[in-house]
Chain A
C-alpha cells in the first residue's frame, strides 16, 4: 500500500484488509514528515502482519513510485512466503466488496495476473501527446514543477531527432498502475538478471509507474488479464476522479473489488464499505459501466460543453462555439408582407412557435404579443439591441424542444447580428426579395417620402443579400425574387415546410 496523506484513512483500510488475514507492506512517501510517519508506524504496531518498506521520494510521473513499489514488493515476497497474489493499492483505495470475495476470486484464478497492459498503438489515452515518445525520449525535468523546461527539452529532442534505444527489444506496454500480480510473475520481474538494465532505462521514461510492470509482466506472465481490479477513472488531464458520499449507490452497483480514489472525508463511504456486509453482493464479475458513463459525460462537458450555451463558465471565442445556437430555427423574410395572416397560417401548418419581427425597431414582437418570453426574456428593444447575439442565443436556448421561427425585414435592426445568423448552420433562412415594397405601396404616404424610404430599404436589402450570398454563410438559405415567388407560391412554401417537419 502506497501512502502519502490521510494516514488515518490508510490505517482504517489497512485494518480492514488485515482483519481478513491479508499481510500488508506499507510504503510512505519520503516527503512525509518523520513525526507523522512515526506516529503512523506506532499506531499500526498492534497488527502482526504489517511491514514498512524503505522510503523513496515519490513525485508524480517519476521513477520514485516504481522504486517504492519494488521495495515494498521485495519485502512482501520475502517476509510472507504464503502469499500467492500481491495487490498494489494506495492509501485512498477502498475495498468495495468483502475481502473474502476477492480472496476467493483470486484462489479460483491462481495463475492469472491482473494488470492493464496495452501497447501504445492500442490505447488512445495519453496526456500531453506523448505516447510512443515517452519511451524514446528522456525526461529529466519535472512536468509539474518545471513545465517550461520539460516542454523545451522534449521539443529539443524532437528537433535533433534523438531516440533512446529500447533495451533487449522489449515491447513497451502501458496501463493503470494499480495491479494484482502472482508471486511468480512479480518475483521474476524483481529477480531478473537484466533488472539493472531495465531499471536504468525506465527511470528516464515518462510516467514509468504506468509502464514498468505493465511491460515486464508481459515477459514472464503465464496468463495476463489486461484489466485492473481497481476501479480508477481518469479525467482529460490525467488526474483521477474522486469518489464522494453521493457515489455510494453507484459504487455498490459497480461490483468492483476496490475503488480509488476516495475523498478522505467521505465518511459515509468508509462507514458503508468497511463494515463487512456479509457477502451482500453475489455476482462475480465487476461491472463499472455506469460509472464509466458518468465520468465520460463529465469529461465531455468540460471539453465540449453544451452547444449554444453562453454562460459564466462557458464563453467560447468566435469559431469555437459548436454553433451560436443550440437548435434549429427558421427565419422568413418578406413572407408576412406578401401574404396576409402568414404567421397564423404557418403556426397552423407546423408546430413551430411563430414570432413576428423579433428585431423590429420599437419592440420585440414575440408570438401572441407576449411581453416576456421563455427565460423571462423581455420585449424591450433597448435591452435586446444592447446585446442582440445574447438575445437570440438565449431565446433559442430557453425554448429547447420547440422550434422557433421569426420574421425579418429591412426595417428591422439586425445589423449587429446579420453575420451571426448567416454563419449559423442552425438557421434556415427563406427570403423573398423586394417584398417590403408591398407595405410601402399600400401606405398612404407622400410620393417623395415613399421614394426615399424605398431607396433606403433597397440599399439595406442588397447589403443583406450580399451577406447571405457570401462564401462564409453556413445557414440554409433560399432566395426568391417576388416575381418568381408569386408565379408559383405553393411549391417553395411546401418545400420549406417539409424541411421543417423533417427535423
Chain B
C-alpha cells in the first residue's frame, strides 16, 4: 500500500508539468481556510451557481484545473477573486481522470487544510448544512480527531424527459433535477482498500440492470483534512493511507456522513454524453457513456412512482442515506 501511495505521488509529480497556471491567487490562502479542488471541462453554464453554493457554505478558495474548455469557462474562472486556475490540454484519461492533477495541487496547496474535492455537478450536503457553515463541521471533526468525511453520490433527475426543461445559468439545478432513488443501494466492502463500494440508484436501475456489477460507484470521500502524504487513488472513491477510507462504523453505530447531490441529468446531459463518447476519455473507454447514449435515444425518463422529491438534509437523514452520527 505504501508503494502504491508513493507511485501515485510520483505520477502526480510527473503529470503536473502539463498544468499551466492561468490565474494563481494561492498567495491569498490563509491558514485554516477551507479549500475546494475541482477539475472541469466545458461547464461554464454550471459555474455561477456552483461558486455561489460553495461560497455560501464557507469555502475560502477554489483551485481548479481546466481541461481545455472551449466555452469560456476558463476565462470566467480567471476573473473570480477567490479562484486559482490551471489549464491543460493533456488527456483526462491519462491523468487517471484528473486525480493526478488534483493530487499534485492538493499536496502543494492543501497541506494542513480541510480540502473538498467535488465535480462541478456535485453539491455537498452534510448534517445541519442549512444552519451551520462547513467550518462548523470541520471544527467538530478536528475536535473528534476525524480526518476524513464520507458523502455518497446521490443521482438527481427530473420528472419527465431530460430535455423537457432547460437549465439556465445561475439556477439551482436541483429545482429541475429534484428527484432521487431513496432506497435501492447495494454496499460491499473493498477488502484491500477498506472503503465501501456503493452501487445502485437510477443508473443501476435503468441503465445497468442487466450488468449490475458495472454500475458506477457512488461512494465518495470528498472532505479530508489534507496532509501532503495523502493521495486519492481513483477519483474521490478511495484514499491512501487506507485508514482514511474508514468513514463508516462496523460495530452497529453510525458515523456522521453527508451526500453529494449529483445534478448530472439535466438537458445538457445528452450533448455531453455524445461528446464524451466521441472523446473516449472516461472510465473504461467511456463504456458508461455508451450505455447512456443508447438509452437516451429510447426512454430517458428516470422517474418512477417511488422516486422521492428532495426537500432537505433531514429528509435524507430519515431515509437513511446519510447520518448525523453523534453531531447534534
Contacts and interface: CB of A to CB of B under 8 A. Distances in A.
B271 interface: no
B158 interface: no
A339 interface: no
Interface stretch (B41-49, B64-72, B222-230, B304-312): B304-312
Interface in B159-184: 181-184
A397 B186 CA distance: 13
A215 interface: no
Contacts of A447: none
Contact of A313 (B150, B188, B306): B150
A40 to B, nearest CB: 19
A316 B253 CA distance: 8
B283 interface: no
Interface residues of A, number: 51
Given A314-B255, A382-B210, A383-B204, A302 B140 contact: no
A417 to B, nearest CB: 13
B242 to A, nearest CB: 15
Given A303-B252, A303-B326, A311-B320, 8 more contacts: A263-B139, A297-B328, A315-B250, A317-B251, A372-B304, A390-B185, A394-B185, A398-B182
Interface stretch (B10-18, B114-122, B125-133, B272-280): B125-133
Contacts of A394: 183-185
Contacts of A239: 143-144
B250 A317 contact: yes
Interface string A366-401: 000000111111101011001100110010011000
A500 to B, nearest CB: 24
Nearest to A379: B209
Contacts of A288: none
B252 A244 contact: no
Interface string B244-283: 0001111111111100000000000000000000000000
Given A239-B143, A313-B323, A314-B254, A377 B184 contact: yes
B257 A312 contact: yes
B303 to A, nearest CB: 9
A439 B242 CA distance: 53
Contacts of A321: 252
Interface string A231-249: 0000111010110111000
A244 B328 CA distance: 9
Interface in A317-332: 317, 320-322
Contact of B183 (A244, A245, A398): A398
A202 B323 CA distance: 41
Contact of B250 (A301, A309, A320): A320
Contacts of B248: 312-315
Given A265-B136, A305-B254, A312-B247, A294 B205 contact: no
Contacts of A311: 152, 185, 187, 254, 257, 320-323
Given A314-B255, A315-B249, A386-B213, A375 B187 contact: no
A391 B186 CA distance: 8
Contacts of B213: 386
Contacts of A241: 328
Contacts, number: 172
A135 to B, nearest CB: 27
A303 B255 CA distance: 9
A314 B253 contact: yes
A337 B135 CA distance: 61
Interface residues of B, number: 58
A320 B328 contact: no
Those 9 A-B pairs whose CB atoms lie nearest each other, nearest first: A375-B183, A302-B326, A298-B328, A313-B257, A376-B181, A387-B186, A386-B212, A246-B131, A398-B183
Nearest to A299: B326
A400 to B, nearest CB: 10
A317 B305 CA distance: 33
A316 B251 contact: yes
B210 to A, nearest CB: 6
Interface in B196-217: 196, 198, 202, 204-205, 209-213
A450 to B, nearest CB: 32
Interface of B: 128, 131-133, 135-136, 139-140, 143-144, 150-152, 181-189, 196, 198, 202, 204-205, 209-213, 219, 247-257, 304-308, 320-328
Contacts of B143: 239, 242
Given A263-B136, A320-B252, A390 B187 contact: yes
A477 to B, nearest CB: 25
B252 A374 contact: no
Contacts of B185: 311, 390, 394
A245 B140 CA distance: 14
B30 to A, nearest CB: 15
Contacts of A320: 250-252
B188 to A, nearest CB: 7
Nearest to A318: B250
A322 B252 contact: yes
A173 B60 CA distance: 47
A87 interface: no
Contacts of A387: 186-188, 212
Residue among B185, B196, B253 having the largest count of chain A Cβ atoms under 10 Å: B253
A311 B198 CA distance: 9
19 contacts: A246-B131, A295-B328, A311-B152, A311-B187, A311-B320, A313-B150, A314-B249, A314-B255, A315-B187, A317-B250, A375-B181, A375-B182, A375-B183, A377-B306, A382-B211, A382-B212, A386-B186, A387-B187, A394-B185
A383 B205 contact: yes
A263 B152 CA distance: 27
A315 B196 contact: yes
Which of A301, A313, A391 lies at the interface centre, i.e. has the most chain B CB atoms within 10 A of its CB? A313
Interface in A220-276: 235-237, 239, 241-242, 244-246, 263, 265
A244 B136 CA distance: 8
Given A301-B326, A316-B251, A375 B209 contact: no
Contacts of A56: none
A398 B305 CA distance: 14
Contacts of A317: 250-251
B209 A382 contact: yes
A376 B322 contact: no
Contacts of A263: 136, 139
